[in-house]
């Protein structure tokens, strides 16, 4: 299973929590940042910035356009 996580500032806080969880549990979860999903075939957790803070519609549009590029596996 692969997780794709689009975010802005609050998402960075979630990623910090994920790093803390990885340290505390000793679970080796590969986390990759990329907007080009074809370049990260092995990474189970892919995150990417979407849109601009303050522009909700732009965030949604950007996220939808990126989700549409997720390769079928």
Q: Are strands 3-7 and 31-33 parallel, antiparallel or unpaired?
A: unpaired
Contact 68, 25 (CB under 8 A): no
Question: Is residue 43 predicted with pLDDT exceeding 80?
Answer: no
Mean pLDDT of 34-40: 89
Q: How far is CA 61 from CA 1, 5, 13, 40, 58, in A?
A: 25, 15, 22, 22, 5
Q: Determine the 3-state secondary structure of 7 from DSSP.
A: strand
Domain boundaries, given as residue ranges, for the chain: 3-67
Q: Could you tell me how many residues make up the chain?
A: 73
Model confidence at 51, in pLDDT bands (50, 70, 90)?
very high
């Amino acid at each position: 299973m692969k997780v794709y996580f689009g975010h802005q500032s609050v998402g960075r806080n979630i990623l910090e929590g994920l790093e803390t969880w990885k340290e505390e549990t000793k679970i080796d979860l590969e986390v990759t940042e990329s907007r080009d999903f074809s370049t990260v075939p092995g990474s189970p957790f892919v995150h990417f910035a979407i849109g601009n803070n303050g522009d909700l519609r732009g965030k949604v549009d950007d996220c939808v356009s990126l989700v549409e590029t997720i390769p079928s596996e």
